[in-house]
Structure 1
């Protein structure tokens, strides 16, 4: 292994605990790092990443109040705040399946479990940076979304460093999928699987079948992957996609419930389960999924109005069968408050929240409050501050108010 010259590398250390921060900083200094920025919480790290390029990011999983290490990595990936050429190492004292599964979905370059020695950290960083150096041209091409160039560079790496064949084949396969060259990608994944049973190759092959519109074979391969590797949670998402296409909505719902059991912190998966549950009028499951989404959204980059409005919608649909129970009513009020606080300046959001609130008061037979909200809504429509009610809403509410 080539010994790295860390003095030329810029590091970002993200750690909320003072003792661990001091110790890890000392380790990095001992390795030769001369440029080390410190962030005690995720928000500070994001600000630093927006304005500075780092070669190495060492991030703890538990970061106190606010975003945790998984949500930080989720945002970094979503906002493309670090290039493929950078090295991201997750540090954790937690080994729960929920944590590991959640973080794996956003693909750090590696993990290191606390407590660790200076020698162990140095070995891990050396190995990761050595691999990054060998894949430098590949990663530069990927950062530029130049997939043809990435494929050529990866082929060169295979010739020069045969030990990186698996990693390079995976990059080539993913690049071919990006280029929509599904037959070539299929051939590569198939060839890999003949030599060694790699989960990523089976995942690639299954997606090729999906893109080539062979849903039966895609389903077989995703199911095989779920059997071979129960931690490959993305396979469940793709199987659910197929089931939706085949109009097997209840099966898609069951598949997503199973996936969430393995990795509950993925907000997009929770939202998908909620939407599917709404579509089959399973409002109890929908409400539970959207409630979890609201909880996850607070520190997520997917903190959008839709998350909160969907939760209100699920509760409003439950109220069609009678008044909400006290816990559900509290949840409705809490989510409505967040819509008012963060998303109420949008006319569509305003209209939706008014309609759900009216539905709740109608279910409680509180006609005067429901009517007051409707009148406020109509006055805001006149001022162009809210989208007008639909014809159906007009008709329903006027009947309910006895007009």
Structure 2
């Protein structure tokens, strides 16, 4: 039996009644150390500064990030180790949505409403399995993939019921080690045995990484047909199509993915970049505007998002008259990128360049000249690279 009193937990829940009830349940189980967060942002701060054995997080966290976005961010930022247990609490209607995330899976799900006895049984099983896989996860946390494979094989011999979970780890480790033939063998064997979606996905990824694009495409489409909420499959199908220079088809795939899961900042960025390449500036502007909104308090926040949003508006202005909303959006993003441009010469230069282009496209010569003069001043002060001489001629300066 697991001794809960030795474990540290964090409870992430925005609803007061549910928060109080779940904390009481954990206390009754024997947990003595329980931190509480009402929002994803406050949870991230706690996870950044503490180590937890159990993360119990609701999927719906009110405004801002949901539980799946939180999980993606803390996994991406390595704020929680593989040795921690992450249990997602979902509503009945959201299960299909959260099942779509494959690369950032929680250790388990529990559906509201649930009894104290059910939660206890679920936690016991998860923590016991986590204990059995401790050496595997410790190796994964150190990026020691060969060691993780060896430890997984040892676990399978001792606990045969964990064979599927261990083979999934082994397949993923072979991909990390770029041993694609062995990865393909593992995934293929697992898919023949159990027809699990993750094994078909792993197989498709392996074919793609081996540049077997037509096979990868077929398997990804099969996966999407069987499970329309397996969103990660859409991302990899888009990658597969791009590798075959089928960018327009890839764009359509990403649009479908975003309709099903609109809160993924990385997917919005990918669609925006692809749309810029296709000179579909209207869709690029919409994608990057959404990414700018999602970037707030995100580990994926970067100046590139804001610059690309500005670029998409500038590109749009070369083709048509901008709407008032689009002009306001340009000015709003300019203010947001200031925090990056103050100490970054390359970013500051790009901002100046885009401002001049924007005003020239609007036939606002006065503002374009003012922007060019400010650019030149920053160049003289070492805060930007030299202004484009073409602008100087066009502005008669």
The two structures have a TM-score, normalised by structure 2, of 0.93
CA contact (8 A) 2:102 2:198 kept: no
Q: CA deviation at 1:338?
A: 0.8
Q: 1:259 offset after TM fit, Å?
A: 1.6
Stretches of structure 2 lacking an aligned partner (at least 5 in a row): none
Match of 2:150 in 1: 152
3-state SS of paired residue (1:112): strand
Select 1:394's aligned residue among 382, 385, 389. 389
- The 2-side partners of 1:129 and 1:280 are apart by 48
Q: Give the Å deviation of 1:222.
A: 1.8
SS of residue paired to 1:365: coil
Contact 2:96–2:229 (Cα < 8 Å) also in 1: no
Find the counterpart in structure 2 of residue 207 from structure 1.
Answer: 205
Q: Check whether the contact 1:322–1:364 (CA below 8 A) recurs between aligned residues.
A: no
Partner of residue 284 from structure 1, selected from 282, 285, 289:
282
Query: What is aligned with 2:105?
Result: 107
Aligned to 1:139: 137
Partner of 2:124: 126
Runs of 4+ aligned structure 1 residues displaced above 6 Å come to none
Unpaired runs of at least 5, structure 1: none
- The offset of 1:104, in angstroms, is 5.7
Alignment root-mean-square deviation, CA? 2.1
User: Which position in structure 1 is the counterpart of 2:219?
Assistant: 221
Contact kept in structure 2, 1:11 and 1:58, CA below 8 Å? yes
Q: Distance in 2 between matches of 1:243 and 1:383?
A: 46
TM-score, reference length from structure 1: 0.92
User: In 2, Cα distance between the equivalents of 1:242 and 1:330?
Assistant: 37
Q: Which residue of 2 aligns with 1:240?
A: 238
In the alignment, the residues of structure 2 paired with residue 358 and residue 227 of structure 1 have an alpha-carbon distance, to the nearest angstrom, of 47
| Offset of residue 102 of structure 1 | 6.8
The match for 1:303 is 301
Aligned with 1:312 (options 299, 310, 318): 310
Asked if 2 retains the 8 angstrom alpha-carbon contact of 1:71 and 1:299, the reply is no
The answer (yes or no) to whether the contact 1:253–1:276 under 8 Å persists in 2 is: yes
User: Is the contact between residue 66 and residue 299 of structure 1 (CA under 8 Å) also seen in structure 2?
Assistant: no
CA deviation profile, 1:362-397 (whole Å, cap 9, x unmatched): 2222101111110110111111111223xxx421x2
Aligned partners of 2:40 and 2:67 also within 8 Å: yes
- The residue number in structure 1 matching 2:270 is 272
State how many pairs are aligned.
Answer: 397
Q: Secondary structure of the equivalent of 1:13?
A: strand
1:23: which partner in 2? 21
SS of the counterpart of 2:56? Answer: strand
Q: Partner of 2:150: helix, strand, or coil?
A: helix
Post-superposition offset of 1:89: 1.2
Residues 34-53 of structure 1, C-alpha deviations (whole Å, 9 max, x = no match)? 22222333333333323322
